[in-house]
Chains A and B, each alone.
Chain A
Amino acid sequence: MTTVQQGTTAADALAAAHTYAARGAALSKVYGDGDTRVVALDAVDVEFRRGQFTAIMGPSGSGKSTLMHCMAGLDSLTSGRAWIGETEISALDDKGLTRLRRDKVGFIFQAFNLLPTLTALENITLPMDIAGRTPDQAWLDGVIDAVGLRERLRHRPTELSGGQQQRVACARALASRPDIIFADEPTGNLDSRSGASVLSFLRTSVREMGQTVVMVTHDPSAASYADRVLFLADGRIVDEMAAPTADRVLERMKAFDTAGRGATGVI
């Protein structure tokens, strides 16, 4: 993580951008003040290497969603700096952030990912349509085939199953070839089979298309699809695991539970 702190000049930022799709330095997020003061992020340094699939895990209230929202330009930081590619997002205004999300970031939410008034295909190309750009047809075809939705492109979201809807959301996130895709519990609402197909697709997009994916999840088996897992607790990154398996992740999470109980003195 030392590289991050050094990467503050323009040249360094450019060099860092080659290696990292996104990174953050001393990210802090504080809600409220006085008695109601809550530190959601506490000086977090983090980086996401290009072509890597990262899972962020942690107990409820650990700050994992806040970290993702701040890195994605959905939420503002109390202090610290964050970059996506070579763009420092902590310096952008609303307009700049909007453009950044549109052009450089892909999103997959837990639910309500699609506009009910648009067909699957229209949903997939929506960010590019908003930007007024023409999609790269060959890439688009590849993405559509990869998610296996060619037959369903003319359907509206209400005519699709939950798994299909999430795959449309994945396709949308990928279609504009963003620097990074943020997924917020993408399988939280799906049964295990549908969830598995979405996760496999995300892994494929990283392995075969060179995408960078950051996924927040609380499901150890979902995390096992990632290349590495970051563990958050109390607004800090407390551990990191490479080549995770579901069992190892589960073990690590159990340790949190015990530590948590010890800390709060419940047992």
Chain B
Amino acid sequence: MDTCACHITGGNFDSAGEASSLLKEALKRIGVEPELIRRAVIAAYEAEMNVVIHARRGRLEARIAPDRVEVEVDDEGPGIPDIPRAMTEGYSTAPPEARALGFGAGMGLPNIRRCADELSLESSVGKGTRLRFTVLLRGGQEHGESAVGLEFLRERCTDCRLCLRACPTSALRVRRGWPLVLEHLCINCTECIRGCPAGAISLRHSPGAAAGAQAGSIVGAQHAAPLPETTLVLPKALAARIAESPARAVALLRARGYRRVLWLDAWRDAVRREALRFSPTRPMILPTCPAVVALIESRYAALIPHLAPVASPIESMAAQLAGEPLEVVVSCPAEAAALVARGVSVMSPKTFLSRFGEGAGHALPPQTDSAPEFQIPRVTGIADVIRTLESIEDGHMGDVPALELFACPGGCAASPLLRSTGAGEAGTAGSEIADRPAPPPPDDSPGTIAVASPLRAPRAPRPGIRLDKEMAEAIRKLGRIDELTRALPGTDCGLCGAPTCRAMAEDVVLGRAVRRDCPYFHDDSKEESR
């Protein structure tokens, strides 16, 4: 754990902001993603300015761990006599000289609350105040998963909040007009991408190097050429977008510097073939779609024994090709997250098409990954997948030997990332695809014979939705959530930034929001209790 600390002098506006700048530099050095840095330093700056404006002196200490940054700000000052009031937007006791500089909007503590994942505030009148907050850096690390592979483009977001409604796991929130993802709930499906009319959600990109990709990064369009001896793996449906046949696409890509070009589809077939050798609890669920696997691990843990005990196609491919320079064009954020966690370089379809050109070929129809030769019933689309999982959980479908479930309607080939042609990943090319002529018969993938890999570790429930590690405390919190849900209006309007009133109640109980975030909630006597 790294620590940085800074003394703050009350009333010294000239040096104010130094502690936050130090924290920002420290977070940048360890590679924290920009949006998380932004949240941490805004909260730190607001806390620092509160000391400068109100106290005689103070100290800011930030402790940086791989999964979180914890900031503690202690001051010697007048203290806060009424903390709930101080947390109210617009309430300020800042003196005129601070207001003249643009401070004193009464938004300092509310801003900290919005930016932080956890917040506590203790104050003693006449003595001072201690404020602690935490910003979680990698919510998925707790259960061995990578962080989510989504990026929110602030400049495109119109605050319409349709993404809140689209998310099947209630993993999205809107805070001050800006979508945030609760990483421990996100399964990396594509519903929010599909549901955003502004194209404000896409595959997350990391700043790229001039040429070639850093291990575990997401390759940006600025990468000029692959590193020598690099193998490119991509969905066959995408190859057909750059040339009139897959064989021509392979030739084109090899001419651009790739040593080998392989189809990801080969690993999907390999996993199907291998999975059918097993006969676990009926119906067996194939692990083809990593978002469905994540959904089962997080929400339907009782169904984990139904999952075929083989790695997903994307994991199998990464395991088989481990050790060689590799770039993979992914179909969805779930594939990207799985690969980045293994240190594999990932390229979005948009980047791929911008580098190699789109339009020479033909789009394959969405059903190209249906694999009819395996005769496995498929369910596609997250709503139908959830209905199916609930049906299995209820003891139905025991007469079905095997099922293949895809989060995307139509399967992987219909992922909104693969269908994008415009400025954003969430383009609306559906009609364009339908209008295009049928493709020529695809050639077989050249080169390596794909092999399904065994699991690296047995599948286990993800603790993401647990309310607390301790069962007794979790039950207590559940009771408070039920109680608060009943007190909320029940309109699920989304104005508070949560998708439903129950999600809002959970956020309040878990410290992610306060009751006042609901514009219709009136209960001053219990305000701010968590």
The reply to whether chain A is a binding partner of chain B is no
